[in-house]
Structure 1
Amino acid sequence: MLVFKYRSGTENDLKALENNQYWSSSIEQLNDPCEAITDAKRVKRFLNYIGQKVAAKTREGVKLINDNTDDVLSMDNKMGIYSLSKTPLDELLWAHYANSHKGFCIEYDLDILLKNDGKNHVHSFPVIYSKKPPSIGFLDIIKNKQNNYIKKFAFHKSKRWEYEQEHRIVTSKIGLNSYYHKALKSIYFGLKIKESDKSKIINLFKSRGIQFYQIELEKNSYSFKAVKLESDNSHESKYLKQLPITISNGKIIEFEILKSKIFNYGGIGEFKVLLKQELNKSELENLINYLKENLFNEGKVLFFEFFTEQNKAEGVPWAYANIRKGQTDIQFNRKK
């Protein structure tokens, strides 16, 4: 499934895109003041009933139960939200979220975007639009029904927002989240984007083998269309396949990523890399720094296993490396 993100085109937008990251906002950072409103009357009545039977006999006791119930039900500071759309052609979304058509729109492959973190830490559903907030019941908050609660809390909005056709990702980490680079498929340029901004973006990302489109108005219509731009994608993309020669001092260092697993919520990354040739320690350090920047720039603890063709056949890494607290440790698997 393809999904779309409208961006203003700021330096932060470009930096996140360049580093294969997206910003997951807190509830309070979103532009709808009615976000996360739920009708919890039923569950509050139930918990008040239990509390009164067990302990709360005074007005203060009942208030304490109510306050604690609100804390239990609130997930405002426990999740991040990344809002996406199902179309790159909505005139209002371009106006509201892409700097009045001066920005751009990103196209993602949702399945690849969701590969990191696992189902317990990333949730993805289309937003449900209704006239009234969803009702929360006791069964929604017990452990094995937590997914129901998250859906009601984070994936419902007022019907007035229905035009956005929103599809959301909810993460357990607020802020920058990394994703596998192949999730990025295309970039669409707004009607009023500056040619200099467009050229800058094309030059930054043309080596990744992605497509570029220009948004235009249909003739005699309010509708938009996306016109594919001709770009020099005739050569095979070397992005995350070859270390840039500016880093390798002109030497051709090729590799293949065999495994890329990211746990955004814990800042942990696990990677397996196949090398086309053996490297010395300095070359391997340069490659590790490049991989960190492009695979998991915000990662705190990263584990690498490097293989040559021979080692891959044997199932034994040629070298191991890990990054902790900004320090890189490399160990070569020397044969006796």
Structure 2
Amino acid sequence: MSSNRSFDAGTRLIGRLAYKYRSGDPNTLRRDLQSLADATFYAADRYSLNDPFEGRFDRSSLDAQFSDLRTFVSGTAPQAASTLDQVSQAADRLLAFVDKSGVFSLSYNPLQELIWAHYGGSHRGFCIGYDLQKLVDFEPNIHSVLDLQYSNATPTITPTDLLVANNPVTVLQKMLGVKSKPWAYEEEVRVITQPPGRHDHDYRALKVIYFGLRCPEATMLAVMEALAGRGVTYQQVISPQSSYALKSVAVADQYSSAAQYKANCAPINDGAIYPDDLKPEQKHYAAYLSKAAEIVRREPYCQEVQLVDFSIGRSTAKAPIIFVQYLRAPNKWVSHYLTLPEIDKQYAALGLPNDV
């Protein structure tokens, strides 16, 4: 899968959960339940967000330096002036990125009192917990993930920022990743997409739901029904009488007996495995190729297993690693890398015979 990502999800996001608060309001509940059922999220353009200062930054220093350079080269170096114009236009395009982006805002804290009051319908709603890495791995239109910074000063874009061509997140952080200090209680993280709008995600990214203190039972049951068979866990927010602190306790899934969502057994391409082409030291592990294919064909989004082999870049004679590539959608491929112990464990969990 190709994308224009500006971050390494594997190093920054692994194991991190982030939370989206929902109000439970009858006017939006149907929409939110449909989003849960469809495994989608909505990234709004900055003009739709509730802070009128979204995307505000100071580019006066940048413009001043361009102006000084134009004055310096004007009439004496036409070629340099032309190049400067091209650089200036490129800077304008980069800075205009903010108006072409979508923002999906989340919090790192599922038990923040003010967020429940402001976005959780005064505790009548619920809070959705996502595995950030799984959320962003699925969607190639996700450009960046930004931890919000909070400041009393508007961020300034300088020519130096634009020179960091190999790390465009530096500029994007200033454009969409800074808010004033009163917002710091939100502990916000933002998924930045291009374009804005609705985006799909791996349904397994949704890990947990927190129900507010006043969340109606009907809303709780509707959420559980929308997520039936997906292995989601549920928490009920509580507050001991002796303090204002928010805590949570586990709630039983009323649809725990539902069939597994997106159970799958995709076809394996006839030419996916070439046992006759294996090196002598690999032939001893040939059965693992078929076992790996059996594991991956059961991936919920797998349409066809297309290639299974020993990884050239990661595998060694003493520690073989199996590479499996499958088709997820037209012109979209996903790669899996499995060690032999991982294959043994996952294959055994499937309950299949060993004589593949």
Please, what TM-score do these two structures have when normalized by structure 1?
0.67
Length, aligned pairs only: 260
Does residue 204 of structure 1 match 2:226? Answer: yes
Task: Tell me the equivalent position of 2:33.
Answer: 14
CA contact (8 A) 2:136 2:142 kept: no
Does residue 163 of structure 1 match 2:163? Answer: no
Please give the per-residue CA displacement for 1:227-279, whole angstroms capped at 9, x wherever unaligned: 111235765861111xxxxxxxxxxxx52699xxxxxxxxxxxxx97379xxx
Name the CA distance, whole Å, in 2 between partners of 1:4 and 1:232. 22
Task: Tell me the equivalent position of 1:299.
Answer: none
Report the CA distance between 1:146 and its aligned residue: 2.1
Rate the CA distance shift 1:47–1:199 in 2: closer, same or farther, 3 A. same
Report the CA distance between 1:193 and its aligned residue: 1.6
Task: Tell me the equivalent position of 2:250.
Answer: 228
Task: Tell me the equivalent position of 1:274.
Answer: 297
- What is the letter of the counterpart of residue 104 of structure 2? Y
Does residue 127 of structure 1 match 2:148? Answer: yes
Please give the per-residue CA displacement for 1:310-331, whole angstroms capped at 9, x wherever unaligned: x979xxxxxx99779xxxxxxx
Task: Tell me the equivalent position of 1:255.
Answer: 265
Larger mean Cα displacement after TM superposition, 186-195 or 46-55: 46-55
- Structure 1 unaligned segments of length 5 or more: list them: 57-63, 242-253, 259-271, 277-290, 296-302, 314-319, 325-336
Task: Tell me the equivalent position of 2:20.
Answer: 5
Between structures 1 and 2, the one with greater strand share: 1
Name the CA distance, whole Å, in 2 between partners of 1:135 and 1:321. 42
Name the CA distance, whole Å, in 2 between partners of 1:237 and 1:212. 18
Name the CA distance, whole Å, in 1 between partners of 2:122 and 2:266. 40
Rate the CA distance shift 1:92–1:216 in 2: closer, same or farther, 3 A. same
Please give the per-residue CA displacement for 1:262-298, whole angstroms capped at 9, x wherever unaligned: xxxxxxxxxx97379xxxxxxxxxxxxxx8xxx6xxx
Q: Secondary structure at the match of 2:241?
A: coil
CA contact (8 A) 2:139 2:200 kept: no
Task: Tell me the equivalent position of 1:74.
Answer: 96
Does residue 116 of structure 1 match 2:138? Answer: yes
Task: Tell me the equivalent position of 1:305.
Answer: 304
Rate the CA distance shift 1:162–1:321 in 2: closer, same or farther, 3 A. closer
The equivalences for 1:316-335 within 5 A come to none
Report the CA distance between 1:49 and its aligned residue: 1.7
Rate the CA distance shift 1:321–1:216 in 2: closer, same or farther, 3 A. closer
Report the CA distance between 1:25 and its aligned residue: 0.9
Report the CA distance between 1:72 and its aligned residue: 5.4
For the aligned residues, what is the CA RMSD?
A: 3.6
Name the CA distance, whole Å, in 2 between partners of 1:4 and 1:54. 52
Task: Tell me the equivalent position of 1:59.
Answer: none
CA contact (8 A) 2:17 2:130 kept: yes
- What is the letter of the counterpart of residue 23 of structure 2? S
Identity of aligned residues (%): 31
Q: Secondary structure at the match of 1:84?
A: strand
Please give the per-residue CA displacement for 1:195-218, whole angstroms capped at 9, x wherever unaligned: 111111122223211101111112
CA contact (8 A) 2:303 2:329 kept: yes
Larger mean Cα displacement after TM superposition, 145-154 or 227-236: 227-236
Task: Tell me the equivalent position of 1:184.
Answer: 206
Q: Secondary structure at the match of 2:63?
A: helix
Does residue 38 of structure 1 match 2:60? Answer: no
Name the CA distance, whole Å, in 2 between partners of 1:20 and 1:322. 16
Name the CA distance, whole Å, in 2 between partners of 1:4 and 1:130. 23
Task: Tell me the equivalent position of 1:218.
Answer: 240
CA contact (8 A) 1:36 1:154 kept: yes
Q: Tell me which of 82, 86, 94 is aligned to 2:108.
A: 86
Task: Tell me the equivalent position of 1:136.
Answer: 157
CA contact (8 A) 1:102 1:192 kept: yes
CA contact (8 A) 1:26 1:77 kept: yes
Report the CA distance between 1:135 and its aligned residue: 1.6
Task: Tell me the equivalent position of 2:3.
Answer: none
Name the CA distance, whole Å, in 2 between partners of 1:108 and 1:114. 10
Name the CA distance, whole Å, in 2 between partners of 1:39 and 1:85. 26
Name the CA distance, whole Å, in 2 between partners of 1:114 and 1:275. 21
Report the CA distance between 1:226 and its aligned residue: 1.1
Rate the CA distance shift 1:19–1:321 in 2: closer, same or farther, 3 A. closer
Name the CA distance, whole Å, in 2 between partners of 1:240 and 1:221. 43
Name the CA distance, whole Å, in 2 between partners of 1:257 and 1:114. 26
Task: Tell me the equivalent position of 2:8.
Answer: none
CA contact (8 A) 2:139 2:201 kept: no
Name the CA distance, whole Å, in 1 between partners of 2:146 and 2:169. 11
Task: Tell me the equivalent position of 1:283.
Answer: none
Report the CA distance between 1:77 and its aligned residue: 2.1
- What is the letter of the counterpart of residue 109 of structure 2? T
Name the CA distance, whole Å, in 2 between partners of 1:135 and 1:15. 40
- What is the letter of the counterpart of residue 202 of structure 1? M
